[in-house]
Every structure is written in C-alpha cells, then in structure tokens.
Amino acid sequence: MTEQVKRSRRKILVGVVVSDKMQKTVVVMVERLVRHDAYSKMVRRRTKVKAHDEEGRCGMGDKVAIEEARPLSKEKHWRVTEILEKAVV
C-alpha cells in the first residue's frame, strides 16, 4: 500500500454564531436532533460552545464550521475552520 489515507479524528460541527463580543473567541450554538426515549419523537437539542477565531472574521448570525482542538483556555476547545454563510445585515 503506497498511498496512505490521512484521517482526522477530530469532530466537526456546524452552528450559528450567537456572540462575537470577545477577542478571538466566538460563541457558537450547535443544534442537533435526538429521538425522545418515551415518545419516539425527534427533539431539538442546542449546545453553546466557545470557539477560537484567530482573525476575528466571524460576526453574529454567521453559519460556521468548527473543529475540535486542544484546550485553548478553561472553556474553549473548538476552532473555527470556515465560514459557510455570512449573516445578512
């Protein structure tokens, strides 16, 4: 096997920026669907995570992809990889 397949073990999530008031940090709300145990209905679950934004390119309402990273601070262990969609101002 001459070709090696490089696989990233880091998780990638997609969410919306809900706060950009900190320096080099944005708060991203990630939404996922989970099946309810008793009722078997799909329920939306939301999680807010802090992500590192080195250049400060993200703004509120932007749809971004974030990737798992080493711990950068007490609560920040995600990194913004790309902006998928800019918010309409």
Query: What are the structural domains of the chain?
Result: 12-85 (2.40.50.140)
> How far is residue 50's CA from residue 4's CA, in Å, rounded to a whole number?
33
- Which pLDDT score is estimated for 1? 46
Q: Is the pLDDT of residue 4 over 90?
A: no
pLDDT in tens, 46-74: 999 999 999 999 999 999 999 999 999 99
What is the C-alpha to C-alpha distance for residues 61 and 51, in angstroms, rounded to an integer? 15
* Stated pTM of the model: 0.85
For residue 55, the Cα-to-chain-centroid distance in whole angstroms is: 16
